[in-house]
Amino acid sequence: MYELNPPLESQEKSVAASRAFSAYLRDLARARRVEPRGDLISGLAQVADEGDVLTEGELVGTCALLLNAGHEASVNGAGNAWWTLFRHPDALARLRADHALVPSALEELLRWDTPLPMFERWVLEDIEVGGVRIERGTELALQFASANRDPDAFDDPEALHLDRDPNPYLSFGAGIHYCLGAPLAKLELGILFTRILERMPDLELLAEPRWKPTFILRGLEGLPVRTRASR
Protein backbone atom coordinates (compact mmCIF):
# COMPACT_ATOMS: atom_id res chain seq x y z
CA MET A 1 0.00 0.00 0.00
CA TYR A 2 2.99 2.35 0.43
CA GLU A 3 4.44 1.75 -3.03
CA LEU A 4 3.99 4.17 -5.92
CA ASN A 5 0.92 3.47 -8.06
CA PRO A 6 0.05 0.04 -6.61
CA PRO A 7 -2.14 -2.23 -8.79
CA LEU A 8 -5.90 -1.95 -8.23
CA GLU A 9 -5.99 -5.48 -6.80
CA SER A 10 -3.38 -4.54 -4.18
CA GLN A 11 -5.33 -1.40 -3.29
CA GLU A 12 -8.53 -3.39 -2.82
CA LYS A 13 -6.76 -5.97 -0.65
CA SER A 14 -5.20 -3.19 1.45
CA VAL A 15 -8.57 -1.52 2.03
CA ALA A 16 -10.19 -4.84 2.98
CA ALA A 17 -7.33 -5.72 5.34
CA SER A 18 -7.41 -2.24 6.93
CA ARG A 19 -11.14 -2.49 7.60
CA ALA A 20 -10.82 -5.98 9.08
CA PHE A 21 -7.87 -4.94 11.27
CA SER A 22 -9.70 -1.82 12.42
CA ALA A 23 -12.74 -3.87 13.43
CA TYR A 24 -10.50 -6.31 15.32
CA LEU A 25 -8.79 -3.48 17.21
CA ARG A 26 -12.10 -1.81 18.08
CA ASP A 27 -13.43 -5.04 19.57
CA LEU A 28 -10.18 -5.64 21.43
CA ALA A 29 -10.04 -2.09 22.80
CA ARG A 30 -13.62 -2.33 24.08
CA ALA A 31 -12.79 -5.59 25.82
CA ARG A 32 -9.61 -4.15 27.38
CA ARG A 33 -11.43 -1.09 28.67
CA VAL A 34 -13.75 -3.38 30.60
CA GLU A 35 -11.15 -5.95 31.64
CA PRO A 36 -7.64 -4.46 31.30
CA ARG A 37 -4.61 -6.73 31.20
CA GLY A 38 -0.87 -6.10 31.27
CA ASP A 39 -0.57 -5.24 27.57
CA LEU A 40 -0.08 -2.11 25.50
CA ILE A 41 -3.66 -1.87 24.21
CA SER A 42 -4.97 -2.08 27.77
CA GLY A 43 -2.65 0.78 28.67
CA LEU A 44 -3.82 2.87 25.72
CA ALA A 45 -7.45 2.11 26.50
CA GLN A 46 -6.93 3.46 30.04
CA VAL A 47 -5.01 6.61 29.02
CA ALA A 48 -6.59 9.74 30.44
CA ASP A 49 -5.45 13.36 30.49
CA GLU A 50 -7.52 15.60 32.75
CA GLY A 51 -10.59 13.51 32.05
CA ASP A 52 -10.03 13.16 28.30
CA VAL A 53 -9.43 9.67 26.91
CA LEU A 54 -8.34 8.42 23.53
CA THR A 55 -11.31 8.08 21.22
CA GLU A 56 -11.83 4.72 19.61
CA GLY A 57 -10.58 6.09 16.31
CA GLU A 58 -7.48 7.57 17.93
CA LEU A 59 -6.71 4.31 19.69
CA VAL A 60 -7.11 2.29 16.49
CA GLY A 61 -4.92 4.75 14.57
CA THR A 62 -2.24 4.65 17.26
CA CYS A 63 -2.17 0.84 17.26
CA ALA A 64 -1.94 0.70 13.46
CA LEU A 65 0.89 3.24 13.52
CA LEU A 66 2.78 1.29 16.19
CA LEU A 67 2.44 -1.94 14.22
CA ASN A 68 3.41 -0.52 10.83
CA ALA A 69 6.17 1.82 11.98
CA GLY A 70 7.47 -0.38 14.76
CA HIS A 71 7.66 -3.66 12.88
CA GLU A 72 8.21 -3.48 9.13
CA ALA A 73 10.96 -0.87 9.11
CA SER A 74 12.78 -2.41 12.08
CA VAL A 75 12.70 -5.91 10.57
CA ASN A 76 13.93 -4.61 7.22
CA GLY A 77 16.60 -2.52 8.91
CA ALA A 78 17.92 -5.54 10.80
CA GLY A 79 17.94 -7.79 7.75
CA ASN A 80 19.58 -5.18 5.51
CA ALA A 81 22.20 -4.49 8.18
CA TRP A 82 23.21 -8.13 8.60
CA TRP A 83 23.36 -8.60 4.83
CA THR A 84 25.72 -5.61 4.73
CA LEU A 85 27.89 -7.06 7.49
CA PHE A 86 28.17 -10.44 5.78
CA ARG A 87 29.45 -8.61 2.68
CA HIS A 88 31.98 -6.70 4.82
CA PRO A 89 33.74 -9.43 6.81
CA ASP A 90 36.37 -7.08 8.25
CA ALA A 91 33.66 -4.84 9.71
CA LEU A 92 31.78 -7.87 11.06
CA ALA A 93 34.94 -9.22 12.69
CA ARG A 94 35.57 -5.83 14.31
CA LEU A 95 32.01 -5.69 15.66
CA ARG A 96 32.29 -9.22 17.04
CA ALA A 97 35.48 -8.25 18.81
CA ASP A 98 34.05 -5.04 20.28
CA HIS A 99 30.34 -5.03 21.12
CA ALA A 100 30.66 -1.45 22.37
CA LEU A 101 30.61 -0.46 18.69
CA VAL A 102 26.97 -1.56 18.31
CA PRO A 103 25.35 1.91 18.74
CA SER A 104 27.54 3.67 16.18
CA ALA A 105 27.58 0.59 13.92
CA LEU A 106 23.79 0.63 13.73
CA GLU A 107 23.81 4.30 12.74
CA GLU A 108 26.27 3.54 9.96
CA LEU A 109 24.43 0.43 8.79
CA LEU A 110 21.18 2.40 8.59
CA ARG A 111 23.00 5.02 6.54
CA TRP A 112 24.53 2.41 4.28
CA ASP A 113 21.29 0.62 3.35
CA THR A 114 18.21 2.37 4.68
CA PRO A 115 14.97 0.36 4.94
CA LEU A 116 13.09 3.53 3.88
CA PRO A 117 14.97 4.88 0.85
CA MET A 118 12.29 7.28 -0.41
CA PHE A 119 9.51 9.44 0.97
CA GLU A 120 7.04 11.74 -0.76
CA ARG A 121 6.54 15.31 0.40
CA TRP A 122 4.37 18.19 -0.80
CA VAL A 123 5.82 21.67 -1.29
CA LEU A 124 4.06 24.23 0.93
CA GLU A 125 5.68 27.35 -0.56
CA ASP A 126 7.26 28.18 -3.92
CA ILE A 127 10.95 27.33 -3.68
CA GLU A 128 14.04 27.00 -5.85
CA VAL A 129 16.42 24.04 -5.46
CA GLY A 130 19.60 23.78 -7.51
CA GLY A 131 18.32 26.38 -9.97
CA VAL A 132 15.00 24.55 -10.47
CA ARG A 133 11.82 26.38 -9.47
CA ILE A 134 9.29 24.18 -7.66
CA GLU A 135 5.77 25.50 -7.18
CA ARG A 136 3.58 25.18 -4.10
CA GLY A 137 1.54 21.96 -4.16
CA THR A 138 4.12 19.98 -6.11
CA GLU A 139 4.69 16.41 -4.96
CA LEU A 140 8.35 15.48 -4.56
CA ALA A 141 10.09 12.14 -4.14
CA LEU A 142 12.93 12.59 -1.65
CA GLN A 143 15.70 10.05 -2.16
CA PHE A 144 17.02 9.47 1.35
CA ALA A 145 19.23 6.64 0.10
CA SER A 146 21.02 9.07 -2.20
CA ALA A 147 21.30 11.73 0.50
CA ASN A 148 22.94 9.16 2.78
CA ARG A 149 25.79 8.87 0.25
CA ASP A 150 26.19 12.62 -0.34
CA PRO A 151 29.94 13.37 -0.55
CA ASP A 152 29.27 16.92 0.69
CA ALA A 153 27.83 15.50 3.93
CA PHE A 154 29.96 12.39 4.48
CA ASP A 155 33.66 11.71 4.24
CA ASP A 156 34.32 8.60 2.13
CA PRO A 157 30.56 7.94 1.71
CA GLU A 158 31.01 4.69 -0.24
CA ALA A 159 32.94 3.07 2.61
CA LEU A 160 31.46 1.39 5.67
CA HIS A 161 32.87 2.93 8.86
CA LEU A 162 31.26 1.44 11.97
CA ASP A 163 32.55 4.30 14.13
CA ARG A 164 31.64 7.11 11.72
CA ASP A 165 31.37 10.43 13.53
CA PRO A 166 29.64 12.69 12.72
CA ASN A 167 26.97 10.71 10.88
CA PRO A 168 24.10 13.00 9.79
CA TYR A 169 22.22 10.29 7.88
CA LEU A 170 18.54 10.80 6.96
CA SER A 171 17.08 7.30 7.32
CA PHE A 172 14.74 8.55 10.06
CA GLY A 173 13.88 11.75 8.19
CA ALA A 174 14.54 15.25 9.48
CA GLY A 175 12.89 18.31 10.96
CA ILE A 176 9.18 18.07 11.81
CA HIS A 177 9.04 14.77 9.90
CA TYR A 178 11.73 13.07 11.99
CA CYS A 179 10.51 9.61 12.98
CA LEU A 180 8.85 9.66 16.41
CA GLY A 181 9.79 6.01 16.87
CA ALA A 182 13.51 6.45 16.13
CA PRO A 183 14.61 5.99 19.77
CA LEU A 184 12.51 2.82 20.06
CA ALA A 185 13.82 1.45 16.75
CA LYS A 186 17.42 2.07 17.84
CA LEU A 187 16.73 0.39 21.19
CA GLU A 188 15.17 -2.64 19.47
CA LEU A 189 18.04 -2.98 17.00
CA GLY A 190 20.64 -2.48 19.71
CA ILE A 191 19.18 -5.29 21.81
CA LEU A 192 18.82 -7.55 18.77
CA PHE A 193 22.38 -7.06 17.55
CA THR A 194 23.93 -7.39 21.00
CA ARG A 195 22.07 -10.63 21.71
CA ILE A 196 22.97 -12.14 18.34
CA LEU A 197 26.62 -11.21 18.77
CA GLU A 198 26.64 -12.72 22.27
CA ARG A 199 24.70 -15.90 21.58
CA MET A 200 25.66 -16.62 17.96
CA PRO A 201 29.22 -15.35 17.52
CA ASP A 202 29.81 -17.68 14.58
CA LEU A 203 26.68 -16.81 12.60
CA GLU A 204 27.30 -17.21 8.88
CA LEU A 205 25.42 -16.64 5.65
CA LEU A 206 24.05 -19.69 3.81
CA ALA A 207 22.95 -18.12 0.53
CA GLU A 208 22.46 -14.74 -1.11
CA PRO A 209 19.02 -13.42 -0.10
CA ARG A 210 16.23 -12.21 -2.34
CA TRP A 211 14.73 -8.74 -2.06
CA LYS A 212 11.05 -8.01 -1.61
CA PRO A 213 9.55 -6.54 -4.81
CA THR A 214 9.14 -3.11 -3.19
CA PHE A 215 11.12 0.10 -3.01
CA ILE A 216 9.60 2.53 -0.52
CA LEU A 217 9.83 -0.19 2.12
CA ARG A 218 13.12 -1.85 1.18
CA GLY A 219 13.88 -5.21 2.71
CA LEU A 220 14.80 -8.84 2.24
CA GLU A 221 12.33 -11.68 1.85
CA GLY A 222 14.59 -13.61 4.23
CA LEU A 223 18.20 -14.01 5.28
CA PRO A 224 19.30 -17.68 5.40
CA VAL A 225 21.95 -18.12 8.10
CA ARG A 226 23.34 -20.79 10.41
CA THR A 227 25.74 -21.29 13.28
CA ARG A 228 28.53 -23.84 13.42
CA ALA A 229 26.55 -25.78 16.00
CA SER A 230 23.69 -26.21 13.52
CA ARG A 231 25.84 -27.63 10.72
Is pLDDT above 80 for 189? yes
Candidates 31, 64, 69, 182; catalytic one? 69
Tell whether the model's pLDDT for residue 162 goes beyond 70.
Answer: yes
**Is 188 a catalytic site residue?**
yes
Confidence of residue 55 (pLDDT cuts 50, 70, 90): confident
Q: How many beta carbons lie within 10 A of that of residue 190, not counting itself?
A: 14
17 is catalytic: no
Q: How far apart are CA 157 and CA 31, in angstroms?
A: 51
What pLDDT sits at residue 48?
Answer: 64
Percent of the chain scoring above 70 in pLDDT: 97
For residue 152, what are the CA distances in angstroms to 106, 118, 185? 22, 20, 27
Burial call 136-160: b when 16+ CB within 10 Å, e when fewer? eeeeeebebbebbeeeeebeeeeeb
Give the model's pLDDT for residue 198. 97
185 burial (CB, 10 Å; 0-12 / 13-18 / 19+) is buried
pLDDT at 216 over 90: no
The reported pLDDT for the residue numbered 67 is 79
Q: The pTM is what?
A: 0.84
69 as an active site residue: the answer is yes
Question: Closest Cα to residue 218, out of 104, 62, 139, 112?
Answer: 112
Whether the predicted pLDDT of 231 surpasses 70 = no
Instruction: Single out the catalytic residue among 29, 74, 78, 145.
Output: 74
Q: Residue 140 in 3-state DSSP?
A: strand
**φ, ψ of residue 123 in degrees (nearest 5):** -75, 125
Mean pLDDT of the region 26-42: 91
CA atoms of 30 and 50, how far apart (whole Å): 21
CATH superfamily name and code, 75-230: Cytochrome P450 (1.10.630.10)
Catalytic hit among 31, 153, 179, 182? 179
Q: Is the pLDDT of residue 228 over 90?
A: no
Of all residues in the chain, what percent carry a pLDDT higher than 90? 66
Q: Where are the domains of the chain?
A: 1-54, 75-230
Q: Which of 22, 42, 153, 188 is catalytic?
A: 188
Tens digit of pLDDT for each residue in 95-147? 999 999 999 999 999 999 999 999 888 999 999 998 999 999 999 989 999 99
Name the active-site residue from 22, 56, 64, 72: 72
Rounded Cα distance, 198 and 81, in Å: 17
